[in-house]
């Protein structure tokens, strides 16, 4: 039987690479660039997917260490470089970019700006103040004008107040008033976890960024269930046990067959047969 003329070609998806294949891809890119590649640069090659990287190494830092490469987080990107990166994206899209628009066109991750200013919504006001304090208004004129325009109140429906008392256009930038820097600890948990509850709280705050959607948490074993995207458009359920240290799984005498993943702050069980997500690896500055 002949194929229908209206049938669409099957969508191509990236297969999950083995650890050896991920290492080879990183090393080839590093040789081509002459330096340690950024995560964005690796993903842009279309050879390695973010979900595949999480599945094999959990974090990009772990993958770089497996390649005997120094994680790029060790060097500091200046705020001026981040501003220039933001400006070229903003001028390209013709407005204040969303996170998705920024990630699609920027050189660096949006996380750098978020860490500086405490949130993506605070970035425009923070960059405008930064340009004034550092004499960049002439050098970055087009971007500064866009910032000024965007920070003018643009109410919808005549600016009518909502039931909560906030106007429809959201928080208002007040010209001439003091601007404060971002919190020194932009993570939702100001201090590193010291117990299992701290691990659970931090994971809940970062779960979306890590590609998880929680189904439930409970007092019994295992502590939680989540959906995780294992391939583009394909999700699977994973049962999770939260521990401060991965080896505590043994001390609590949990059955290996009862879950598929341990989420912990410290991974000190090298021979663990389960997948382990070590949250401290997300904060290399604490190492």
**286 and 280 in contact (C-beta within 8 Å)?**
yes
Question: In this structure, is residue 168 part of a structural domain?
Answer: no
Q: Which residues of the chain have pLDDT under 50?
A: 1-12, 74-75, 155-170, 184
Question: In this structure, is residue 172 part of a structural domain?
Answer: no
Contacts with 127 (C-beta within 8 Å, 6 or more apart), sequence order: 83, 86, 113, 117, 143, 147
The pLDDT of residue 62 is 78
The pLDDT of residue 263 is 95
Among candidate residues 74, 100, 121, the one where a domain is terminated: 74
Q: Where are the alpha helices (DSSP H) in 12-97?
A: 19-33, 39-44, 50-57, 60-66, 79-93
Question: In this structure, is residue 180 part of a structural domain?
Answer: no
The pLDDT of residue 226 is 93
Among candidate residues 99, 130, 154, the one where a domain is terminated: 154
State the greatest distance between any 2 C-alpha atoms of the chain, in Å, as a whole number: 73
User: How far is it, in rounded angstroms, from Cα 160 to Cα 178?
Assistant: 27
Q: Which two tokens stand for residue 99?
A: 């996170």
Three-state SS for 144-191 is HHHHHHHCCCCCCHHHCECCCCCECCCCCCCCCCCCCCCCCCCCCCCC
Q: Domain total for the chain?
A: 3
Question: In this structure, is residue 114 part of a structural domain?
Answer: yes
Report the candidate in 130, 37, 119, 39 with the shortest Cα–Cα distance to residue 83.
Answer: 130
Among candidate residues 103, 138, 154, the one where a domain is terminated: 154
User: How far is it, in rounded angstroms, from Cα 143 to Cα 127?
Assistant: 10
Q: Does 84 lie in the same domain as 69?
A: no
50-57 and 19-33 are packed helices; what angle lies between their axes, rounded to 10 degrees? 120
The string of DSSP codes covering 247-275 is: THHHHTT--GGG-SEEEEEE---TT-SSE
Question: In this structure, is residue 264 part of a structural domain?
Answer: yes
Domain that includes residue 113, residue range:
79-154
The pLDDT of residue 45 is 85
Q: Is the full-model pTM beyond 0.75? A: no
Q: Does 85 lie in the same domain as 70?
A: no
Q: Does 102 lie in the same domain as 70?
A: no
Q: Which residues is 212 bridged to in the sheet?
A: 228
Kindly tell me the sign of the dihedral angle through the C-alpha atoms of 272, 276, 282, 286: negative
């Amino acid at each position: 039987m002949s194929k229908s003329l209206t049938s669409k070609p099957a969508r191509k998806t990236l297969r999950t690479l083995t650890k050896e294949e991920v290492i080879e891809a990183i090393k080839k890119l590093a040789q081509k660039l002459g330096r340690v590649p950024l995560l964005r640069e690796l993903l842009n090659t279309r050879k390695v997917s973010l979900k595949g990287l999480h599945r094999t190494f959990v974090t990009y830092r772990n993958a770089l260490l497996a390649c005997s490469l120094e994680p790029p987080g060790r060097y500091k990107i200046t705020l001026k470089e981040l501003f220039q990166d933001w400006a070229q994206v903003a001028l390209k899209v013709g407005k204040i970019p969303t996170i998705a628009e920024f990630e699609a066109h920027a050189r660096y991750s949006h996380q750098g700006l978020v860490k500086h200013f405490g949130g993506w919504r605070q970035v425009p006001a923070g960059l405008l103040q930064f340009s004034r304090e550092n004499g960049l208004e002439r050098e970055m004129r087009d971007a500064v004008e866009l910032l000024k325009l965007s920070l003018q109140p643009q109410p919808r429906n005549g600016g009518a107040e909502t039931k909560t008392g906030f106007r429809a256009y959201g928080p208002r930038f007040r010209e001439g008033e003091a601007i404060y820097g971002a919190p020194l600890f932009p993570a939702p948990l100001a201090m590193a976890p010291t117990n299992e509850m701290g691990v659970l709280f931090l994971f809940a705050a970062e779960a979306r960024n890590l590609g998880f959607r929680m189904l439930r948490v409970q007092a019994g074993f295992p502590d939680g269930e989540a959906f995780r995207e294992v391939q583009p458009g394909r999700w699977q359920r994973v049962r999770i046990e939260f521990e401060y240290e991965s080896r505590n799984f043994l001390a609590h005498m949990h059955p290996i067959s009862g879950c598929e993943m341990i989420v912990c702050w410290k991974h000190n069980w090298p021979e663990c047969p389960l997948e382990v997500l070590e949250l401290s690896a997300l904060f290399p500055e604490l190492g």
